[in-house]
Chains A and B, each alone.
Chain A
Amino acid sequence: MPRVVFTANLQRHVPCPPCTVEGSTARDVLDAAFAQLPKVRGYVLDEHGELRHHMVVFVNGQACADRRGLSDPVGPSDEIVVMQALSGG
């Protein structure tokens, strides 16, 4: 099953350990991860389920091509990394 890893910067705000869940697209996998970690959903996606502006989802090191739909395919041994841009002072 695909593995989902969240940025350490998010761990500071809400517990989000790595998890292994079912799914064949990035959207499916993230939905399954958020079913286990419901508080995390609103930090990664906005209230309409869209990826927040400065967030990025990698599948095996490649940023999802479909940022809006997150329809990028995910294989059973793939790793999804949820990251954000860092900025500010």
Chain B
Amino acid sequence: MSDTLLASTRKGLFAIRRTAPDAWSVEGVSFLGDNVTLALVDARDGAWYAALDHGHFGAKVHRSRTGGATWEEVGTPAYPKPPEGHEEERDEFGRLIPWKLVRIWSLEAGLADQPGVLWAGTLPGGLFRSGDYGASWELVRSLWDHPSRRAWQGGGADYPGIHSICVDPRDGDRVTVGVSSGGAWRTEDGGGTWACCAQGMRAEYLPPERAYDPNSQDPHRIVQSPAAPDLFWTQHHNGIFRSTDDCRSWEELRDVPPSVFGFAVAAHPLDPGTAWFVPAIKDERRIPRDAKVVVTRTRDGGRTFEVLHNGLPQVHAYDLTWRHALAVDGTGDRLAFGSTTGSLWVTENGGDDWSTVSEHLPPVHAVTFVK
């Protein structure tokens, strides 16, 4: 049961504490005024990591070992220079793909038997590994140099990016990453070799002959069930997909109310059948259906979905929830999600009822519970 959550926003990292049942309030803020794109709470040692995007000054990583009271800048993932004679890389839209860090888009910790191991996914598509708590980072060349990587495309951003990193709770050398737009990729050997594992995902926006190309898919977020690690959920650009066979295949779940478009998905930590999504109208509008903020929940492995709205705004609400802005705590009872318009809601009963933490935060990029 977690009583603290962190909201990474356009203007700082907010620590939010539970003060009474269903009552949560902002307790403090770090990096006020700065763009905090996401935070990681490392359950192994309690350290907090914050990814900042300073714009003109570049992306940085900071670490706190004092629960946010003090921070120190650690290493920044850095791309190597392309080899001599390397021809310019352009995607299918003609956009130049730089060998330079654009944004840190995911941060995850290794397992308890891998002290100091961190993973960072970035734009323009590089995965980095640290073995020293973020002091230094190394580009995972086996994935960056994979010939198929050159076919990745920008999705919502101008460049491809790794937004999801699933470290298998059974074996920390088994890591699955989600790429917009490059499908899902898996290593079984700690990053030595990689294979695309998005078979069955469907991209309805691509030419028909490309619709099922695994390496062209745009998963918005991929999560692995901690309770049944062969089970994965994907909120994809045009649908919800589920894999029950450790990403060997994906099945599209159709007719999910009120919409199959969205960015965020969270898997219940203990009950494999339960997952939550925050839907929106695709794609050209990206607002909640009928201007009502809702969360969808399945409790039977994706066969049926409930639309949850108690406590959420149901009139003229235009909140959009990004891919990292929905989080669940270790019990599965408490969830939080934040929006592009600075709203933040929590539930203490798995989504049946929600309470408002704030409607006036800066745009929320990411939410995570302090374990």
Interface residues of A (CB under 8 A from B): 10, 13-14, 39, 42-44, 46-48, 52-55, 84-85, 87-88
B54 within 8 A of A: yes
10 contacts between A and B (CB under 8 A): A13-B54, A42-B58, A43-B58, A44-B57, A47-B78, A47-B101, A48-B81, A48-B100, A52-B57, A85-B56
**Residue numbers in A under 8 Å from B101 (CB-CB):** 46-47
Q: Report Cα–Cα, A88/B34, bound state, in Å.
A: 12
CB of A52 within 8 A of CB of B58, answer yes
* CB 8 Å contact bits of B17-50 with A (1 = contact, 0 = none): 0000000000000000010000000000000000
B76 within 8 A of A: yes
CB of A54 within 8 A of CB of B56, answer yes
CB of A46 within 8 A of CB of B58, answer yes
B73 within 8 A of A: yes
**Residue numbers in A under 8 Å from B56 (CB-CB):** 52-55, 84-85
CB of A43 within 8 A of CB of B57, answer yes
CB of B54 within 8 A of CB of A43, answer yes
B212 within 8 A of A: no
Contact A47/B79 with A54-B55, A54-B56, A55-B56 known, Cβ cut-off 8 Å: yes
Interface residues of B (CB under 8 A from A): 34, 54-58, 60, 73, 76, 78-79, 81, 99-101
CB of B100 within 8 A of CB of A10, answer no
Q: Report Cα–Cα, A84/B58, bound state, in Å.
A: 12
User: Which of A39, A44, A53 is in CB contact (< 8 Å) with B73?
Assistant: A39
Shortest Cβ distance from A54 into B: residue: B56
CB distance from A24 to the nearest CB of B (A): 25
Q: Report Cα–Cα, A10/B58, bound state, in Å.
A: 12
Tell me what chain A mostly uses at the interface: helix, strand, loop, or mixed. loop
**Residue numbers in B under 8 Å from A55 (CB-CB):** 56
**Residue numbers in A under 8 Å from B34 (CB-CB):** 13
Q: Report Cα–Cα, A52/B99, bound state, in Å.
A: 14
Contact A14/B73 with A47-B79, A47-B101 known, Cβ cut-off 8 Å: yes
Q: Report Cα–Cα, A46/B57, bound state, in Å.
A: 9
Shortest Cβ distance from A43 into B: residue: B57
Q: Report Cα–Cα, A86/B6, bound state, in Å.
A: 28
Shortest Cβ distance from B75 into A: residue: A42
**Residue numbers in A under 8 Å from B100 (CB-CB):** 46-48
**Residue numbers in A under 8 Å from B79 (CB-CB):** 47-48
CB of A42 within 8 A of CB of B76, answer yes
CB distance from B12 to the nearest CB of A (A): 13
**Residue numbers in A under 8 Å from B73 (CB-CB):** 14, 39
**Residue numbers in B under 8 Å from A42 (CB-CB):** 58, 60, 76
Shortest Cβ distance from A40 into B: residue: B57
Most buried by B among A42, A44, A55, A87: A42
